Chains A and B, each alone.
Chain A
Amino acid sequence: MKLVRAWITPLIALVIAFGIGAILMITQGSDPLRAYESLFTTAFSTQEGLAKTFGKATPLAISGLAVVIGLRAGLFNIGAQGQLISGALAAAWAGYAITGLPMIAHVPLCLIIGAIFGSLVGYIAGALKAYRGIHEVITTIMLNSIVLQFAEYLSNGPLKEEGSIIAKTPPIADSAKIGSIAGLPIGFLLSGLLAVGVWWIFKKTTTGFRFETVGKNKNAAWYAGIAVKRNTVFAMVACGALAGFGGAVETLGVVGKFEPAFNQGLGFDGITIALLARANPLAVIPGAILFGGMRGAGPTMQFTAGVSPEIIDLILAIVLFFVTAPIISRIFKLKSDSNAQVTSGWGSN
């Protein structure tokens, strides 16, 4: 019963969002059935489509997890985007600049470097929150823009591929690339492992308990001897490390270099996925597969049904709206399950 309740709101939200999406398509003179059919058959019925879906789902799942950790620790991490870009660029650099390593060493090295650079961005937001009392939402949004600009500068300047017209880094070495096992991208398998890992940390370890206590009641956490500030920083570092890792996986598994035009919006989908999953790490995976499928098949849908792929942004926005606003529980008379204050206010730290 509890399980049903956890799933029913997101499911109803999805149905409503697709319904509204259909109406909008009709108003634009397109056929929603054809569009959705194209969307889902492309994403989920062919070998090739599935590979693409899982590939797209990988960074979404990991950045979703990065947001989940934050939510559990009382932090609303809008900065997964910037952390991810930081990790993606750092991994690309490690991927092309370091050569002569065997794959078994090169890939983990790139992933770790990506995580470290992601966590640096997270650290800034965490430290500003803990020691200067600045709300993480503002700092992470600002950091998203700063990191993006900085990445543009680097990929168009010091790290630019020689002779390239557009801003991008050289391609990574073959020893840094990660592929697939039986059609499943290795990156996706990693994201599944990460989801289980995050779930397990919150379920079983004192670290998870610390994060969660700080998230639910900072004052009681301090009373109980938990170093609130240090854990706030630590949680943001963990968020950043995960998102940076996700960016690195994207670089090594999909893009093969860093190009500022890629990676856009991944961190924001991560927010929607995390809220759709109600901050449950395991539920992030199905959410990411769904979103990844839609993102991956969007261009095909535009081609076959003439619907602009921005409809997906809109559908996802509507999903988010119905998942977080207590509308569904009101209409369907469900026991109101989430009306909790996840985030903290401004000045009072």
Chain B
Amino acid sequence: MTTLLQVKNVTKSFGSVIANNDISFEVAAGEIVALLGENGAGKSTLVKSVFGLVRPDQGEIFIDGNQMAPGDTAAVIASGVGMVHQHFKLVPVMSVTENIILGDEPKNGLFVNIKKAEQKVRELSEKFGLEVDPTANIEDLPVGTQQRVEILKALSKDVRLLIFDEPTAVLTPQETDELILVIKNLARLGVGVIVITHKLREVMALADRVVVLRDGKVVGTTTPKETNEAGLAQLMVGRSVVLEVEKGVAKPGKPVLTVKGLEVFDDRNLLAVKGVNLEVRSGEIFGIAGVEGNGQRELVEAICGMRLRAKGEVLVSGAATKDMHPHAVHEAGVSHIPEDREKHGLVSSYSISDNLILNQFDQAPFARGWFRNMIEIRKNADLLVKKFDIRTTSPAALASSLSGGNKQKVVIARELSQDLQVLIAAQPTRGVDVGSIEFIHKQLIAARDNGAGVLLVSAELDEIISLSDRIAVMSAGKIVAIIDSKGADRDYIGRLMAGLDK
């Protein structure tokens, strides 16, 4: 096998954080290499250096033995490297074809030859068995199809090395299996493949070789044959980890959150939640499984009063809550860990202490009438920083100075420290390191055991299965099934997520 890619001693730091520390590895033609590591281990930075999106501080990158100038994406693409990004690099308001040809447009004189381009997309899609409509607009396509467009875009350029960045994060288990077949097929055709992932199951099913990163360094190179999931996990985290979440038996009580016939529109004015009914009881974790973009976000926002409810109602402990009034819903005892902490959860240019009272700033003891009570705000911060192990120099530090995991702890500390009947946790462990994930899981279970009804929304099926007491599967804006988590079958849930079973 010929060596396609050689990465030699690459180092890259952002400020004081060393994202990549002297990393070297190789990929041969037809080989599938998995880059395994937890969040923040430096996987993404590494492949972005390879792709020329990030300029490494030191080190060299060779493709076919030719050294690449750092940060020259165009040259990297020209040498036959393609990348399928985790957050798709597709323009939502443009067509599939326009997205695929962007940067390498077939021309007819001065003009783009869109007919020829569409034909080419059709041919490509047939050749690789990736079905798409070349004239469709990206924003009208489901996520799985969008990913196919991303792959086609990479393949349209005669790629010999293809990089996948967390490709399965948005897929159902079945779609994941299909993608694994696609990747293996590409490798058989001689394409070198790098897959970035933190999912051990996929590494075992897919990779020829595994390069494990931790804290920006290569801590081991192995093959699936030589090891198992537990071994990989230990290598990845640096200590043995409990893959299962320990929790006691749930003691569900009365319903605390009732959603009746809820219909909600999304930002584009399309019906995203189509008549959802559900009931969360106190003392249970009610998980919502589903591929992202099937209405979960709109559901959560409508429950919390942040998005207009077109139809239906939301009751907390039997009392109807006010629509479009997040303050009233919060007062009724609903705490909300929002899915996008940078957008909704925090004001990053505020101090940690202000963020810890963000939605109670006008309530006692943090305000007396019109006046804010700085002493109480500070006291609260000191307490929560300690209790929730928020790693910071001072509660007066800005939230923007914190790491992802610690930012999430600020949000969780704020939401759990309140008098709550219902906790809504949307993607609570997204972009968070393994240590914080364990901590957050324990906190959710503790909230349940203290009698709160927890509504957990997560794109990570494993998280839903291991934490929830009951699981609702959401697909295309509807709850398609509610099942008991005991003995829940991944494949069955996956089929429900894809809308295949009834």
Contacts and interface: CB of A to CB of B under 8 A. Distances in A.
A–B proximity contact (CB within 8 A): yes
The binding surface of chain A is classed by DSSP as helix
A220 interface: yes
A225 B345 contact: no
Given A216-B349, A216-B350, A340-B349, A224 B371 contact: no
A116 B216 CA distance: 60
Which residue of A204, A207, A224, A227 has the most chain B CB atoms within 10 A of its CB atom? Answer: A224
B345 A220 contact: yes
Contacts of A209: 354, 361-362, 372
A224 B361 contact: yes
B345 A223 contact: yes
A346 interface: no
Contacts of B367: 206
A278 B327 CA distance: 32
> For chain A, which range describes its interface: under 10, 10 to 19, 20 to 34, or 35 or more residues?
10 to 19
Interface string A183-225: 0000000000000000000001111011001001101111111
A225 B344 contact: no
A222 B347 contact: no
A160 B371 CA distance: 46
B358 interface: yes
A220 B361 contact: no
A223 B370 contact: no
Contacts of A221: 347
Contacts of A340: 349
Given A216-B347, A216-B350, A340-B349, A223 B372 contact: no
Given A204-B371, A205-B372, A216-B349, A223 B361 contact: no
B359 A223 contact: yes
Contacts, number: 63
Nearest to B301: A223
Interface in B322-369: 325-328, 330, 336, 338, 343-350, 354, 358-359, 361-362, 367
A18 B325 CA distance: 52
Contacts of A205: 370-372
B235 interface: no
A221 B421 CA distance: 22
Contact of A223 (B306, B325, B362, B371): B306
Nearest to B325: A225
B347 A220 contact: yes
A50 B349 CA distance: 40
B418 to A, nearest CB: 12
B350 A225 contact: no
Given A224-B361, A225-B359, A340-B349, A219 B343 contact: yes
A227 B348 CA distance: 20
Nearest to B350: A216
A224 B366 CA distance: 14
Contacts of B347: 213, 216-217, 220-221
A225 B345 CA distance: 12
A339 to B, nearest CB: 12
B326 A225 contact: yes
A117 to B, nearest CB: 26
Interface in A263-284: none
A112 B36 CA distance: 67
B362 A206 contact: yes
Contacts of B350: 213, 216
Contacts of A225: 325-328, 330, 359
Given A206-B370, A207-B370, A219 B344 contact: yes
Interface of A: 204-207, 209-210, 213, 216-217, 219-227, 340
21 contacts: A205-B370, A206-B362, A206-B372, A207-B370, A209-B354, A216-B347, A217-B343, A217-B347, A217-B348, A219-B343, A219-B344, A220-B345, A220-B346, A223-B358, A224-B326, A224-B359, A225-B325, A225-B326, A225-B327, A225-B330, A227-B327
Closest 7 pairs (CB-CB, A-B): A225-B327, A224-B359, A223-B344, A206-B362, A217-B347, A224-B358, A225-B326
Given A221-B347, A225-B330, 15 more contacts: A205-B371, A206-B362, A206-B372, A209-B361, A210-B362, A213-B347, A213-B358, A213-B361, A216-B349, A217-B346, A222-B326, A225-B325, A225-B327, A225-B328, A227-B327
